[in-house]
Structure 1
């Protein structure tokens, strides 16, 4: 126990070496926790997935600087990772639950018309929509576009009209 205290320090007053060793341990633990949470925690970038990144960063930083005890901090971070994994899993089993925690797409354009009410709900202006259209589809108007959506990750996607 004495050796661990010398290596990792105690409380908020650590040497550079002690804080660096804490950072190495937390880095490894974070990798394990992200494996528990699953790949989607970094891949999807939805608000549900961003929560784990923010919370793990906030919680685990406390262990590095010694602001909280090590074991309770790691336990709290593990609970967050497991909750994220369970939420994602239940979201695949029940579409309504999935929509509740992950959100749903919002139609911004369809049938040749801008959906102004949905655009207001998504906080997307006409300028934003046209900028996204130019950026992702490399066109300036909606002539070749069937529909446009605000996806759950905040990106705007477009569906081209079928060429018959």
Structure 2
């Protein structure tokens, strides 16, 4: 059986053929889907820094399994460990409040309060007036006078809360 896997997947020590890399790509794709199902729907759904870091590392690790730069099955195991770590840290962030949760998930930042633009908060978060105006247009707001609050969310989106009419 071990010899079968060496023939089909290659060992990574020798040059892999085009069909070995193709088979590896298919197996890694299926394994990645299974591993992601073990994770949570949030992993790529919300796009917080926490989720994006996993995506970058996850892709890098899995690419090594396809190209044969790392042993095949240990690389898949490492990908699984990354997803389980993500799930565990998400659980910790959910279970705890305070610095740990804020570090893992981030926290929203108020950009407009009672209609007043907080320029220092825009600057701290590398946002311009144009970024705020774009969020206003997306929120159906035509004037800053209509804004009660605006927040930079953990995902990087800007949420606009309109004043009561």
Gaps of 5+ in 2: none
For residues 34-77 of structure 1, what are the alpha-carbon distances to aligned partners after superposition, in whole Å with 9 as ceiling and x for unaligned?
11221100111000011111111000100101001112212221
For residues 106-131 of structure 1, what are the alpha-carbon distances to aligned partners after superposition, in whole Å with 9 as ceiling and x for unaligned?
11101221111111111111122112
1:104 aligns to 2:142 (yes or no) = no
1:57-96 paired onto structure 2 within 5 Å: 57-96=59-98
Mapped contact 2:115–2:146 kept (Cα < 8 A) = no
What RMSD over aligned residues (CA atoms) do the two structures have, in Å?
Answer: 1.3
1:9 aligns to 2:10 (yes or no) = yes
Where does structure 1 differ by over 2 angstroms across 4 or more consecutive aligned residues?
A: 137-140
1:5-154 paired onto structure 2 within 5 Å: 5-11=6-12, 13-96=15-98, 97-134=100-137, 136-154=138-156
Gaps of 5+ in 1: none
Aligned to 2:144, what secondary structure does the other structure show? coil
| CA–CA separation in structure 1 for the residues paired with 2:31 and 2:146 | 49
Aligned to 1:91, what secondary structure does the other structure show? helix
Q: How many residues align?
A: 162
